[in-house]
Amino acid sequence: MLENDLILRAARGEKTERTPVWVMRQAGRILPEYRAVRAKLSGFKELVETPELAAEVTIQPVDHLGVDAAIIFSDILVIPEAMGLQYEMIEKKGPIFPSTIQSASDLNKIHVAQADELSYTIEAIKITKKELNGRVPVIGFAGAPWTIFAYMIEGAGSKTFSKARKMLYTNPELSHQLMEMITESTIAYLKGQIEAGADMVQVFDSWAGILPADQYREFSIRYISAICKSITEVPVTVFAKGAYFALKDIKNLSCDTVGLDWNMDIAEAKELLNNKTLQGNLDPCVLYGSDEQVISATQSMLDQFKGHHHIANLGHGVYPDTNPKKVKLFIDTVKGYN
Ligand code: CP3
C-alpha cells in the first residue's frame, strides 16, 4: 500500500488534495549525497549496474527534496546495450557507442532484448520498492524508439543527429526494422520493471523535436503508440521534447499523461490534450534565478495549469549545476500552493 499516491491519482485523472511534484533527472546529478556515492565507483555504469547503490540514489531525492515519486536510477541507453551495442559513459562528455548500426547486415550484431538481460535495473526496482516501504510510488522509464535509434546510429550525442536523420531517408526499411526491434525490447523491459514494482512508467522521446511532422508520425508516434497499447498495467507518461507539431497525434495515444517542455504553450496544450493529465513544465533555468523568481515562476505555472489534471515538473531534466536548495524551493512552492 502507498502512503502517498498523489501522482498515480493525478495520472489517472482523479482528484488530488494538491498538485503532485517530481523532477526529471532528480536521481543524481545535483545532490552531494549522489556525488559521494558516485565518487567511490569506477564510473556511472557501475552505479547503474549495482542494484543496492542504484536503489540508494533513487531514494535520495525522496529524503532530501521531498518529491512525490522516485524515478529509478538507470539510463535510457541500457536498452541498446542489452540488444548488443555496448556504450561507454565518458566523464563530462556523455555516451559513446564504439560500434553502431550503419547497414542491414549490422542488424545481425543485435537482438531483441528480454527483461532478464536488464536484471540489474529490475533488481534495483525491487530493492527500491522494499526500502521505500510505500512512502511514494516508483517511476520506471525507457527511451522512445526514435531517441534510442538516434544513439544507435549516431554513436554519440549530437546537436543535429544528422546521421540518424539521414538513415530515415536513405534506408527507411532498415530504420523500421531497427525501430521494431527497439520497440519489442522496450515493451519487454517496461513490463519487467512493472512486474518488479514500478507504479508508473515514462517514455522519454528527448529528440522528438528534430524530426519533421510526417517523419515523426511514421518513425516515432507509430512505435510509441505500440508501447502505450502494450502497457495496460500502470499509468504511462509520454514526454516528447519539442513535439509541438505532434500534439494532435499525441492526443490519440493510449497514454495517461503527457509531459510538456518549457516551450510549450500551456493554454494550447490544455485545450488540445483535454483527455490527458499534463506534466511539466517550468524552465529548468528558472532555478538559476533568485528565490523570488523561483517562487513566482512556479506559482505562475501552477496558475496556468489550473482546472486541468496536472503533475508539476520541470520542462526537461534538471541541469547538473543547479543548486539543490532551488530545486527544494520549487518543490515546496508546489506543495504549499492552493
Ligand atoms: O531522473 C533520473 O535522474 C534518473 C536517471 C536518468 C539518467 N538518465 C541518469 C543519468 C534518466 C531518467 C536518464 C534519461 C536519459 N539519459 C535521457 C532522456 C532524458 C533527457 O534528459 O532528455 C537521455 C537522452 C539520456 C542519455 C544520457 N545519459 C546522456 C546524453 C548523458 C550525458 C549527459 C547528461 O545528461 O548528464 C547521460 C548520463 C547520465 N544519465 C547521468 C545521469 C545521472 C550523468 C552521468 C554521471 O553521473 O556521471
pLDDT tens digits along 224-266: 999 999 999 999 999 999 999 999 999 999 999 999 999 999 9
Determine which residue's CA is closest to atom 7 belonging to ligand 1: 75
Ligand 1 centroid vs 28 CA: distance in angstroms?
9
Task: Kindly tell me if the per-residue pLDDT of 129 is higher than 90.
Answer: yes
The pLDDT of residue 212? 97
Kindly tell me the burial class for residue 102, based on how many C-beta atoms sit within 10 Å of its own C-beta (0-12, 13-18, 19 or more).
middle
Q: How far apart are CA 296 and CA 319, in angstroms?
A: 20
In a domain, 17, yes or no: yes
Please tell me the residue having the least CA distance from ligand 1 atom 35.
94
26 pLDDT higher than 90: yes
**Is residue 1 in a domain?**
no
Q: Residue 240 domain-assigned?
A: yes
pLDDT at 115: 97
Does the pLDDT at position 1 exceed 90? no
The pLDDT-based confidence of 335 (bands split at 50, 70, 90) is very high
Cell of 226: 505500440
How high is the pLDDT of residue 98? 97
Q: Is residue 38 part of a domain?
A: yes
pLDDT tens-digit map of 284-312:
999 999 999 999 999 999 999 999 999 99
Question: Does residue 73 contact residue 28 with C-beta atoms inside 8 Å?
Answer: yes
- Indicate which residues carry an active-site annotation: 25, 29, 38, 75, 151
User: Is pLDDT at 214 greater than 90 in this prediction?
Assistant: yes
Distance 297 CA to ligand 1 centre (A): 25
| Ligand 1 atom closest to Cα of residue 320 | 36
Within 13 Å, how many C-alpha atoms sit on residue 39's CB side? 6
Sign of CA dihedral 291, 297, 299, 305: negative
Predicted model pTM:
0.97
pLDDT at 29: 84
> Roughly how many angstroms between the first and final C-alpha of the chain, as a whole number?
27
Q: What is the CATH number of the domain that holds 92?
A: 3.20.20.210
Q: For a pocket test of ligand 1, which of 75, 138, 186 has the largest count of ligand atoms closer than 8 A to its C-beta?
A: 75
User: Which pLDDT value is given to residue 28?
Assistant: 82
Q: Does a structural domain hold residue 111? A: yes
Task: Give me the domain span that covers residue 295.
Answer: 6-336
| pLDDT, position 338 | 81
- Average pLDDT (210-225) is 98
Q: Given the CA of residue 47, which atom of ligand 1 is nearest to it?
A: 47
Instruction: Give the position of cell 490544455.
Output: 270
pLDDT of the residue at 92: 87
pLDDT at residue 117 in the model: 98
Judge whether 312 lies within some domain: yes
pLDDT number for residue 145 = 98
The span from the CA of 187 to the CA of 172, in Å, is: 22
Rounded Cα–Cα distance for residues 136 and 23 (Å):
14
Q: Residues enclosing ligand 1, CB less than 6 A?
A: 24-29, 38, 44, 71, 73-77, 89, 94-95, 141, 157, 204, 206, 317
pLDDT band at 54 (very low <50, low <70, confident <90, very high): very high
With CA atoms as reference, report the closest residue to 240 among 215, 266, 264. Answer: 264
Would you say residue 290 lies in a domain? yes
Q: Which residue has the higher pLDDT, 66 or 27?
A: 66
Ligand 1 pocket, mutate which of 21, 22, 23, 25 (most atoms under 8 A from CB): 25
Average pLDDT over residues 135-151: 98
Atom 33 in ligand 1: residue holding the nearest Cα? 94
Query: For a pLDDT cut of 70, what percent of the chain falls above it?
Result: 100
Cβ(140)–Cβ(203) under 8 Å? no
For the chain, the average pLDDT equals 97
User: What's the domain count of the chain?
Assistant: 1
232 domain residue, yes or no? yes
All 3 cell numbers of residue 117? 538481460
**Residue type, position 130, single letter:** K
Ligand 1 centre to CA of 14 (Å) is 31
CB 239 within 8 A of CB 203: yes
- Name the residue with the closest Cα to ligand 1, atom 17: 76
Nearest CA to ligand 1 atom 22: 206
CA distance 184 to 191: 11
Tens digits of residue pLDDT in 184-200: 999 999 999 999 999 99
